[in-house]
Each structure stands twice: as C-alpha cells, then as structure tokens.
Structure 1
Amino acid sequence: MGILYQATSLIDWGIWLFVLFALMAFNEFGRSTKWGGIILFFIVPLILTIFVWPTTAAPGNEYGTGTWFNWVKTYSALAGCLGFMALRYIPSLSKKKWALCFPPLILALNIFEAAIRDFQCFSFGAWNGARVDNLWLMSGPWNIMNGLAGLLNIITICGWLGIFISKDRTKDMIWPDMIWAWIIAYDLWNFAYTYNCIADHSFYCGLALLLSCTIPTFFIKKGAWLQHRAQTLGLWIMFVMTVPSFADRIAPIPTTHNATAFFVVSLISLLANLSLAVYQFNKIFKNKLNPFKDEIYAGTKVYKEVVQDNI
C-alpha cells in the first residue's frame, strides 16, 4: 500500500475490515425487511438531523463535514434509499415507466455532484497540496481527467426501463442491464474521485465503501448493485456526519500525497470509462438500439442469469 497510502498496520487493516463487514451487515438488515429499511434510512437520519448533525456537521467545523457537498450527498443518498424502497414495496409503482426513471436520475445526480467536485478541486489551484474546507487535497490534471470520466459514466447508464422487483422475500430492485462492466468502471471512477477530493479518507470511503456494495452484487444478491450502493453510501455518510473525527483522528490512513499516484489512479478511471463508452455506443449503433428505451446487454449470459435468479 506504500504507493497509494502510507504504511498500514494489522490494527489498521482490522479496523478497515470491521468497517467493510459492518456496512455489509447493516445493508443486509436494511434490505431484508421493510421495517429495517425504514429504521435505518428514515427514522435514524431524522433523529440525527434534529439532534446531532447541526453540531457534528456544522459549517466550518475542523473535519470538513459542514460543506455543501456533504449535506447534499447525505440527503441525495438517503433520497435514493427511500425512493428505491417505494419502488420495492409499492407494487403498482414499479410498473410505471416514469417511476423507473428515478433510479437512473438519482444515480446520475450523485455522479454529477462528484464530477463537479473534482472540477472544483482543480479550480482551487492547490498544485502542491493544501487543506481546503479542512480536507487535504492536491489540485492537478487528474481532477479534469476524472471529472470527464464521471461524465462518461453518466452517459453509459443504460437499460433502466428493464428494472423490476425480485419475486423473493426481500423484494430487491433488480437492474439486469447494469452488468459488471459498468460497475467496475463506476468503481474505478468513484475510487479516483475519493482519492482526488477526500484523499486522506479514501482508504475507507473509497476502498471499503465500494467493496461493501460490489461484494454483495457479485456474491449475495446479483442485479441489485444500485440498491446496495445507495444503502451502503447512506450508512457510511450518516456515520461520517455523526463521527467526523473517525478518518482524521480515530483511525487515520493518509495517502502518500504523491502526484504520480493521483495521475495514475485518474488515468485508469478515464481509460476504463472511455473504453466502456466506446463499446456501448458501438453496440448501440451496430444493433440500432435506442439507449433511452432498449436494454443494451439483454442477450448476454450475465443478463440472463440475473433475470432467471429473480423471477
């Protein structure tokens, strides 16, 4: 880890693993029952909004949780969790095409917010690194590269009219056209975003948080990546808003602050998302598909397996 992060001990890795498995466990609690989701994503944040966050996430606080971005990201993530629950538990809603536009819109909004933040970090001109809004960052071409990768990630969102609710007990929101290629491109982009803009927190909000939704997608409930992502993101950001000292004081794992590392991480992100965009648009033109209506990967093996597992 010496290339991306400063030396980590076994205790550091133990804390990291605890964060990873705690996020996965609470995600399972939130998706397994309706009341589990209501408690985690409505009742708990309502209490925290009134009694805790005005203090722990006050504007200008020493941990940087009081910025506009943190507040917007918190409520947009929670809006996604509650909106997806509405689709899951109100049977008539998931049958309406206009309602199926909500998942891609809230996803695109979250990606766009982060892309704007990357561009904003470039505008700070912190070419040698500096603390801005009480968070360390280093401005550079990587911000532009990864901001563009985020925009490419938005335009490659596809197949949302094929979203359906699984027939099993958990009633998960299944998006079969969101296959592994898009998920990996997203993960690479989002990790680069956290590395660029929340550098010294990215060991947790980058690596641990992304794995906490990617692992369940491949090994626990396939096809439900966006649901896993919204819930783990909501859980993490509520924790950060409540215990802002965690990544700075309690269990800090700073990056190496190396410009080459920033550049390489964002270059990989940009190349992955550019490759995905080229592949998808080639597939769209070749098969004369409508990206706003058709499912691009409907004929693939992975698509068919996700549908078969959830009908």
Structure 2
Amino acid sequence: MNTERTTQLTRWLKWLWLAMMLAIAPVTQASAADSELGSYQILLEGVPGTGGLSYHLDFYDDGTVNIEKRFNGQDHIETHQYLRDGQQLVIKPLAGGAIKDFDHANLTIIDEENIEVALNVAGSELLLLEKDVNFTLFRWHEWQAKAHILLTLVVLIALNELFRFVKWSGFAFFIGGAAFCTVFVWPNQGIVYWFKWAKIYSVVAASAFFLLMRFTPVYKYRLAKLFCVAFLAINIAEAVAQDFSMGLIPNLLNGVAGVLSIATCYYGWKGIRADDSPQKDMVWPKMTALWIIAYDVWNFAYVYLNFPASASAQLMVIIAATIPALWIKPGTWLQARAYTLAAWFMFYFTFTNFYERNLWIFPRNDTLTYSIAALSLVLNIACVVQLVNFYKNRTKEVATA
C-alpha cells in the first residue's frame, strides 16, 4: 500500500512540476521595438555580492527610448528621450528618474547589430566592475532569442542522451573539448569573474568523475559516493551564500530553502552506483521526485533573484536534467544535471557574445519574487517532512522485525 501511494504521489509530482514550468515559460519580455534602431541588450557583472546586471533598450522613431535595468534585486523601467546625430546617440537624463547610468554616456552606432557605449563614470558609482563601464550593446531579435532558448533545452537533452549511449562521447567532450577550449578559446572571451571560472571547471570535473563512476569500479568506493553528494551540496552552498549576501527578503527565504535542500540531499547516497543497463548509467535510486522538484524551483528562484537576465536560459538547463530523470531514465538526475550544466557552461564560455545577444528576459516584480521564493521554501520544508517520515517508517520496520 505504501509503495502504491508513493508511486501515485511521484506521478502527481511529475505532472505538477511540468505544469509549473509551462506556467513560468510564457511570462517573458515584450516584443522588440518596431523602429529603425530597434532593441538592444547586454549583461554585465556587478561587484561581488550584487548579482548580474542587465540593460535592455528599445529605441523608437519618435525620439524615445525605453530602458529596462535589472540589478541588485531592483528592477527599473523608464522612458527617456534620445537625440541622434549621425552615428552618435545621446540619452537625456530623466528628472526624478532612477536610471542615471546613461546620463553622461556616449553611444556610437557601429553597425545595425552593435552600439558601443562609454558610460563615462567610475564603475564604483554603479557597483560595476571597472571593465564594464565600456561595453557593446547587442541588437536583440525576438524570434532569434526565443529559438535560442528553446533550442537550449532540445540540444541539452540530446547531448545527455548522447553521453549516455555513446561511451567515448563524454570523455571527448568533457576532457578533450574542455582542454582545447581552455587553451584556445575561453581565455579570449573577456570573462573575469572568478565564480564563473570556478563553476565551469567544477561541473566539468564532476562530469568527468561521473564518467569514471559509470565505466570503472570507482563507484564501489564509499569515498567516491560521498564525492557525488559533496559536489551537489557544495554547488547548492555556493548559491546560498550569494542569496544571503543580497540580503533581500526573497533572497533570504530562498537561502533558507537552499540550506534545507543541503540538509535533505544526502538521503540514499549509499545506493549511488553504476547500474546494469547497457548504458551503465550512474543512478541514485532513492533520490525522490519531490526533492528534484524542490531543487528545481529553488535553483530557478536563485537565478531569477540574482541573475534575472539569465533566468530563461537557466530554466531550460534545469528542465533538461529533470525531463530525463522523471520520464526517460529514473534515478539519473545527478548524472543528467552534471552533464547538462557542464555542457551549457562550455557553450556560454565559448559563445559568450551570442548568448548575451539572444537572451529572452523574464520580467520581475515583488509579487513574482516573493511567490517564487515562498514556493521554494515550502517545497524544501516538504522535503524535510518527507525525510523525517522516511526515518520514522524505518524505525517502525526495525522495531517490528
């Protein structure tokens, strides 16, 4: 009876998760501006602890420009006036406006796809890294951005299946490909934030280690299994630290949810192993659908609150690991999460400008941020309750044995 009830609950949670993801996806930014100049956007790095900064500008032929700025837990949308003199643009200050970033800026149209910007202020005034006071605004095409985000999901799921079914592909991609890009590609992409470098190499290393777990006897060792749990817990802890450093109420709620996720992630870790299938998948049989869904919501909330411009892409990355784990091969979530996250980071580091040019930015407001953070906390509290019940049932079984 308990097994049947658990199966029904798992099935219900799967469809609930799918409904939540589909509900989130359509809530996106407005269409591109219909004008000669059009729409432009850029992602920049704030100083540590502030999260990511994004600008989205829609230029209109009537001399107005709609500016969207998302940064440090705040969202501002204002309409300014602009003047064009040949290839030069000047955005006029708005009396009483919150967005003053372009008040002293020089904007130069390079071509139809790029506008060079010099803010002409110190980075410290805007909480920006000094390298980011001069940047290029990229032309934003709505159809291209939507296709990019949706293809991210399709390609990541396809890559995960490739790595499952073709043994050598994972080694070639995560070891050979990463080594090649480390020498010839990634140093030239202008990425300086240490956290991003630490993130890419940690997930690539984890992916390579999971290949060893699958195809060698490494999985038999207790320490190897503990490494799998540690990889997961440390990655959550890094994000929790960012949430707490922001200090806003939604971030704090989500930070607490992350702590609970760490506290419950270890359940069943001794069962991590390579299974007997032809693919030799690394499975974690006791990882529950509830924990995966709670993690997904927490992770999306983390990105949405701290790096809002990347939320749509990261939603696809999150889903790309969960679909295989819930519908294709149960028990493989951690393997799929490492593979898809590492593949996405490698794509981002290799095609940085393309990625930033083609983001589909989600809007934010207090209702959305509080709701998502609260849902994250509730689901992770449910994981704690589930874990307590597991141990209670185990105690009863031992007592009656």
| TM > 0.5 fold call | yes
Match of 1:182 in 2: 291
Select which of 31, 38, 41 maps to 2:164: 31
CA distance in 1, matches of 2:312, 2:25: 12
Shift of 1:261: 1.2
Equivalent position amino acid for 1:171 in 2: K
**Residue correspondence of structure 1 range 59-208 to structure 2 within 5 A:** 59=192, 67-91=193-217, 93-122=218-247, 140-157=248-265, 158-205=267-314, 207-208=315-316
Normalised TM-score (structure 1):
0.79
The counterpart of 1:260, out of the listed 357, 367, 370, is 367
Distance 2:148 2:258 in 1: 30
- TM-score relative to the length of structure 2: 0.62
Partners of 1:234 and 1:187 lie apart in 2 by 16
| CA displacement at 1:98 relative to structure 2 | 1.9
- State the one-letter code of the partner of 2:394: N
> 235, 240, 243: which is aligned to 2:348?
240
Residue 210 of structure 1: aligned partner:
318
Shift of 1:191: 0.6
Instruction: Call closer, same or farther: CA 1:89–1:142 in 2, change over 3 Å.
Output: same
Q: Name the SS of the counterpart of 1:187 in structure 2.
A: helix
- 1:3–1:261 CA contact under 8 A, matched in 2: no
Q: 1:192 to 1:170 in 2, by over 3 A?
A: same
How many pairs are equivalent? 263
- Secondary structure at the residue paired with 1:169? coil
Shift of 1:208: 0.6
Take 1:113 and 1:81, find their aligned partners in 2: how far apart are those partners? 18
Q: Give distance in 2, aligned partners of 1:219 and 1:166.
A: 17
Deviation at 1:30, TM superposition (A): 1.9
8 Å Cα contact 2:149/2:360 also seen in 1: no
Query: CA offsets, 1:115-152, max 9 Å, x none?
Result: 11212233xxxxxxxxxxxxxxxxx2111111111111
2:336 match: 228
Shift of 1:286: 4.8
Give the AA of the match of 1:221: K
Q: Which amino acid aligns with 2:28?
A: Y
Q: Percent identity?
A: 37
Give me the whole-angstrom Cα distance separating, in 2, the residues matched to 1:16 and 1:77. 21
The question of whether the paired residues in 2 share the 8 Å contact of 1:200 and 1:247 is answered with no
What runs of 5+ residues in structure 2 fail to find an aligned partner? 1-23, 32-141, 397-401
Aligned partners of 2:186 and 2:147: how far apart in 1? 28
Contact 1:57 1:242 in 2 (8 A): no
Report whether the alignment pairs 1:15 with 2:148.
yes
Letter in 1 for 2:344: W
Which residue is equivalent to 2:57? none
Task: Output one character per residue of 1:247-296: Cα deviation in whole Å (capped at 9) or x when no partner.
Answer: 432x122221312211111111011101211221243245339xxxxxxx
The structure where helix makes up a greater share of residues is 1
In the TM superposition, residue 4 of structure 1 has moved relative to its aligned partner by 4.7
Does the aligned pair in 1 maintain the 2:244–2:252 contact within 8 Å? Answer: yes
TM-superposed CA distance for 1:83, in Å, is 1.1
Instruction: Give 3-state SS (helix, strand or coil) of 1:288's partner.
Output: helix
CA deviation after TM superposition for structure 1 residue 16, in Å: 2.3
- Return structure 1 stretches of 4+ with deviation > 6 angstroms: none
- Greater relative contact order (Cα < 8 A, sep 6+): 1
Q: Distance between the aligned counterparts of 2:395 and 2:307, measured in 1?
A: 41
- Say whether residues 1:5 and 2:28 are aligned partners: yes
Q: Which residue of 1 aligns with 2:184?
A: 51
Larger gyration radius, structure 1 or structure 2: 2
Aligned partner of 2:382 among 269, 275, 284: 275
Contact 2:243–2:254 (CA under 8 A) maintained in structure 1: yes
Shift, 1:10, TM fit:
5.8
